Structure 1
């Protein structure tokens, strides 16, 4: 099935258009450390259409420090500390192809509800994307053609099954993950500790799901993949606490 058939958005991989004049593009934040602050700020919302284009930043009045903001709120819901959220009432897939969770890309006449763990998966893909394509010190999105990194090119394929398979292999096969991460350019390598730590969450979640499929447990939590994919666990993987 193609993106046109299900009315999903593909993107120009490296020429993401600006949304507002009041906020900066993610790669313009100025440093890896500032990017990490912005990334953490954006985590606690079930957005349902995350992409590298709607994670933005603005400079606060408090010393001009970068603060993360999200744009395009049409499908958003706030996430409580308990990870409880309002489910989407949409009967169609929501998201932007390169950053959508695997579950949401699987061809199904009735798409599954968009859960917070799906957004956490999108954040992981945005993190990987940033490591490959953003030079924060130079405040630029590198012009390298996506075809030089075939796994990321497949994330934006018009065939949803191709996209889903490419992403699933990365989050479920250590060898594939290692091969991809070995290609991260020098400018993005400071993000590798975060990338590996977050990847382990998805590895554990997939293992938990497979074990539950073999030996179903009545109390296994579908919303959090057995308790592994929650806001709290994601923040622990990053080694950070939400900024007030």
Structure 2
């Protein structure tokens, strides 16, 4: 549904949160479908200068947690989806995640850096399989993209010093690391169904 919204209308949601996501079961086929709500912030993706801040910093992409954020890209929404999964599957009470909603922008950026360098809090008991197949794989996806971005920055600086031309680089996908197809391929991995009282 979200990809279709982007491909057909060219719209980026910009406020992916746990509060804006719903799930329903189709009575005809029994399948569960995700529904994304709260469309008062979406903007056309072709408005390349759009820098309006998303509403909820807790789930905001790291790139946007600065005083003068870059234009909001499609991959920023994908990163927000990742943080939603983090909050749904990790043990929140007593962890650093519990503090995210009350942090300043600069502190939150620091803590999100730590997620990719030091790892996540323990998984909720009934979500270990989902964490292994989805959350940790997505974390690696974004970590790879951030690494490519740092390497590109160094390459550009070297080229500038040496008077040469740096190779072309796709900043929209972090060097091709973060695309919807790669994101969706991870979520296509089958996960053992959640059972027990902790399932929602």
TM-score range, shorter chain: 0.7 to 0.9
State how far apart, in whole Å, the 1-side matches of 2:48 and 2:94 are.
36
1:91 offset after TM fit, Å? 4.4
Cα 1:43–1:168 shift into 2, 3 Å: farther
Among 59, 67, 71, which residue is 1:107 paired with? 67
1:76 offset after TM fit, Å? 2.8
Q: Which runs of 5+ in 1 are unaligned?
A: 1-40, 79-84, 134-145
1:95 offset after TM fit, Å? 3.4
Give the secondary-structure state (helix, strand or coil) at the position aligned to 1:107. Answer: coil
State how far apart, in whole Å, the 2-side matches of 1:112 and 1:49 are.
16
State how far apart, in whole Å, the 2-side matches of 1:161 and 1:66 are.
37
User: Which string of whole-angstrom CA distances, capped at 9 and with x for unpartnered residues, describes residues 140-179 of structure 1?
Assistant: xxxxxx55112x12321341001111012212x1xx11xx
User: Which string of whole-angstrom CA distances, capped at 9 and with x for unpartnered residues, describes residues 187-241 of structure 1?
Assistant: 2212212111111111111110111011023410111111111101111233459
Aligned position for 1:92: 52
Aligned position for 1:130: 88
State how far apart, in whole Å, the 2-side matches of 1:160 and 1:77 are.
23
4+ aligned runs moved over 6 Å, structure 1 = none
Give the secondary-structure state (helix, strand or coil) at the position aligned to 2:184. Answer: helix
Residues 51 and 126, structure 1, Cα contact 8 Å, conserved in 2? yes
Among 166, 185, 189, which residue is 1:236 paired with? 185
Give the secondary-structure state (helix, strand or coil) at the position aligned to 2:18. Answer: coil
* RMSD, aligned CA: 2.4
> By percentage of residues, which structure has more helix?
2
1:77 offset after TM fit, Å? 5.7
Aligned position for 2:125: 186
Give the secondary-structure state (helix, strand or coil) at the position aligned to 1:197. Answer: helix
Among 86, 98, 121, which residue is 1:153 paired with? 98
Among 128, 135, 139, which residue is 1:195 paired with? 135
Q: What TM-score do the two structures reach when normalised by structure 1?
A: 0.64
User: Which string of whole-angstrom CA distances, capped at 9 and with x for unpartnered residues, describes residues 27-81 of structure 1?
Assistant: xxxxxxxxxxxxxx55654311010011112232423422111101123368xxx
Residues 202 and 229, structure 1, Cα contact 8 Å, conserved in 2? yes
Aligned position for 1:59: 25
State how far apart, in whole Å, the 1-side matches of 2:142 and 2:187 are.
13
Give the secondary-structure state (helix, strand or coil) at the position aligned to 1:57. Answer: strand
1:120 aligns with 2:120: no
Structure number with larger C-alpha Rg: 2
